Amino acid sequence: MKRFLLLSCLFLLCVSFGPLNKPVQSNVLQEKAQPVSAADQPVVWPSSKNFKNKFQNTFLMRGPGTKREVALTFDDAPDDIFTPKILDILKEKEAKATFFLVGFRIEKYPEMVKRIVQEGHAIGNHSYNHPDFLKLTDADFRNQIIRTDQLIIPFTGFAPTLIRPPYGNISERQIEWLAAKNKIIVNWDVDSLDWKGINAEQVAGNILPNVNPGSIVLQHSGTGDGGDLSGTVHALPNIIDELRKKGYKLVTVQEMLDMNQ
């Protein structure tokens, strides 16, 4: 009888609590990556809102709203499919943007990095191989930043001040280390969700109604095997035109923050 009661209690505990749901780290940009679904993408952790208040000069989700400016940003660059198409559009529209580069892609597509710099766009550090920073040791996290900085320096002449953590995920301890290195973490307040492979109308619909003075817009210019950013490529000319019709000036994040770089 006692054994029966014990087994019953254990069964009830398993049913009640079950396994904890945790965000899954995507390998979409890592070497030898496999295509992942939207369900596999880690979420942006809610602590971002607290960091915005606690680290006002180090952790940003948008720029100052005092000027009618918008910063278009492109993560996961470079690649040889979507990055050149996006650069062609920006050149034709005489618009500048900010590209957050992934280290192993810099090694793979150096000529594309050179073009980004030569055409006057700004650059930020987006890690070496796109891990979730919250899952890294201190040493591994710092190596992600330092290694990518060293890859960027030959193209720009200096290490970038701006850091964008993959998925927007970062810990307080990591922010404090970056702050000591005079780095600035730049996330976003407008998300295109283009990594889902959505069409141009959906990309524009996720951006244009949500832009305000000082907005930092997240898009992508590189993806893993099987990824499709055609929605961003086709939407970008219209997005630029519509923002300008609304009186917005398109600037780099560095320009928005009045930085020298």
**Angle 158-162-163 from CA coordinates, rounded to 5°:** 115
Determine which one of 121, 126, 130, 220 is catalytic: 220
User: Using one digit for the tens of pLDDT, what is the confidence trace for 100-113?
Assistant: 999 999 999 999 99
* 132 counts as catalytic: no
Structure confidence at residue 38 (pLDDT): 35
What does residue 178 show for φ and ψ, rounded to 5 degrees? -65, -40
Structure confidence at residue 226 (pLDDT): 87
Determine which one of 75, 79, 132, 194 is catalytic: 75
Q: What parts of the chain have a pLDDT lower than 50? A: 1-46
Q: Is the pTM here over 0.75, yes or no?
A: yes
Structure confidence at residue 85 (pLDDT): 98
Domains and CATH numbers, the chain: 66-256 (3.20.20.370)
* 75 counts as catalytic: yes
Structure confidence at residue 56 (pLDDT): 67
**Helix locations, the chain, DSSP H:** 2-17, 47-54, 82-93, 103-108, 110-118, 138-156, 172-180, 200-207, 230-245, 253-256
Contact between residue 191 and residue 47 where contact means Cβ atoms under 8 Å apart: no
